[in-house]
Amino acid sequence: MLMGKGSIANPRVYLPILILAILLLLPFVADPYYLNLFILIFLYAALAGSWNLIGGYGGQMSLGHAVYFGIGAYIPTILAIRFGLTPWLGMVAGIGCSWLISIIMGAICFRLRGHYFAISTIILLEVMRLVFLREVGLTGGGVGLSVPYKGNSLLFFQFLDKTPYFLIALVILILVIHANYRLSRSKTGYQLRAVGQNQEAAEVIGIDSASIKRKVLGLSAILTSLCGTFWVQYMYFIDPDIAFGLSFSTEIALIAIIGGMGTVWGPVLGAFILRPVVEITSATLGGTYAGIHLIVYALILLAVVIFKPEGLIGLFNPAFSKIIKVLPGGGSADPATTYLGSDRPS
């Protein structure tokens, strides 16, 4: 009996469903500490996955991606304070502003290549931080802004329990994974990879590199802005050093790089491994050594670059393939579908 790739008997189909079902059960069995940890894992995985769209597939090493995060955090907060608008409307406004800024950043930064491009994104990030620090009347300056408390309200994106935050963060992560999956198997994705590997050669064969990069950067900015809105509603506070911080922006990229950039699951794997390590390190050593988590990132990155340049996804692929083979229906599964980082089309 032949088993199609879309059949429920295929581990490629039922294994993600099983994992999703387990995750949905967590709010009913886990205490708030672990729910908070999973929420942060989902958020950082979504941020790294959003960066991966342009940084991983396109090879555009953006270190200023927090610009879109900051816009997505500030716009809904300012609209809520000034006009009492629901953050859901503010989220839409933040997404629109982030998309417009991505067009401007693309027009400026995509004229540059390599490390010059990375430096230009850092400069724009710092410009945004200084602007938001100066506009005290609007942004609160260095003091920052606090989200107005409205009580337990779906309309105002505020909940007394962590379960709704957990579910919303999971939905955002699924959206980001889906965007990575669709891009990895689309014509645009193949063209973007070609541009990332050799832009001159890609243009010779007729690929409009500027248009492709702007399109994907816009999608990446939208998803990153969405994460920013979620973050500020979850934390109830934002300031320019958090929203537009270089260390935070670099951390987003490092999660994708360490996990395996240019793959669908690499950023997710990176977040699921690194965030618990960071939380444990910060809890035990954070009071004595500020910024210790960045040192941990650096050490892990150094080890990955030396031993697994393709990222941690390279360690998990063989094990994942073996697991797939021993699962019911796994013996007849397409080998291409058992590869966590596979970008081969269906």
In this predicted structure, what is the pLDDT of residue 288?
Answer: 61
Mean pLDDT in residue range 4-25: 75
Residue, of 83 and 345, whose pLDDT is higher: 83
CA atoms of 179 and 221, how far apart (whole Å): 12
Cβ neighbours of residue 10 under 8 Å, at least 6 residues apart? Answer: 3, 4, 329, 333, 337
Longest CA–CA span in the chain (Å) reads: 69
Lowest model confidence (mean pLDDT) among 98-102, 208-212, 224-228, 306-310: 306-310
Mean pLDDT in residue range 89-114: 90
Look at residue 2 and tell me whether its pLDDT is greater than 50: no
What pLDDT band is residue 338 in, cutting at 50, 70 and 90? Answer: very low
pLDDT, the chain, mean: 86
Q: Does a structural domain hold residue 97? A: yes
**Percent of the chain clearing pLDDT 90 (strictly above):** 54
In this predicted structure, what is the pLDDT of residue 89?
Answer: 96
What pLDDT band is residue 340 in, cutting at 50, 70 and 90? Answer: low
Q: Does a structural domain hold residue 59? A: yes
Look at residues 45, 59, 49 and name the one whose alpha carbon lies nearest to residue 212: 59
Q: Does a structural domain hold residue 54? A: yes
Q: Does a structural domain hold residue 9? A: no
What pLDDT band is residue 5 in, cutting at 50, 70 and 90? Answer: low
In this predicted structure, what is the pLDDT of residue 310?
Answer: 85
- The answer to whether the beta carbons of residues 313 and 265 sit under 8 Å apart is yes
Residue, of 16 and 186, whose pLDDT is higher: 186
Look at residue 207 and tell me whether its pLDDT is greater than 60: yes
- How far is CA 104 from each of CA 56, 67, 71, 207, 248, rounded to the nearest angstrom? 21, 12, 14, 21, 22
- How far is CA 188 from each of CA 57, 96, 152, 180, rounded to the nearest angstrom? 10, 22, 42, 12
CA atoms of 95 and 89, how far apart (whole Å): 10
What's the CATH code of the domain at 162?
1.10.3470
> Residues 73-101: pLDDT tens digits?
999 999 999 999 999 999 999 999 999 99
Look at residue 285 and tell me whether its pLDDT is greater than 90: no
User: Domain containing 110: what range?
Assistant: 34-338
What pLDDT band is residue 224 in, cutting at 50, 70 and 90? Answer: very high
Q: How distant is the alpha carbon of residue 289 from its chain centre? A: 27
Q: How distant is the alpha carbon of residue 207 from its chain centre? A: 27
Q: Does a structural domain hold residue 307? A: yes
CA atoms of 278 and 280, how far apart (whole Å): 5
In this predicted structure, what is the pLDDT of residue 52?
Answer: 96
Q: Does a structural domain hold residue 111? A: yes
What pLDDT band is residue 329 in, cutting at 50, 70 and 90? Answer: low
- The answer to whether the beta carbons of residues 147 and 237 sit under 8 Å apart is yes
Q: Does a structural domain hold residue 299? A: yes
Q: Given phi > 0 = left and psi -120 to 50 = alpha, else beta, which region is 219?
A: alpha
Cβ neighbours of residue 299 under 8 Å, at least 6 residues apart? Answer: none
Number of structural domains the chain divides into: 1
**Which of 6-15, 38-47, 108-117, 309-318 holds the top average pLDDT?**
38-47
Residue, of 197 and 231, whose pLDDT is higher: 231
Q: Does a structural domain hold residue 24? A: no
What pLDDT band is residue 299 in, cutting at 50, 70 and 90? Answer: confident
In this predicted structure, what is the pLDDT of residue 332?
Answer: 52
Interhelix angle 246-259/32-55, rounded to 10 degrees, is 80
- The answer to whether the beta carbons of residues 106 and 208 sit under 8 Å apart is no
Look at residues 41, 39, 69 and name the one whose alpha carbon lies nearest to residue 241: 69
Beta bridge partners of 238: 145
In this predicted structure, what is the pLDDT of residue 304?
Answer: 85
Q: Is the pTM of this model over 0.75?
A: yes
Look at residue 145 and tell me whether its pLDDT is greater than 90: yes
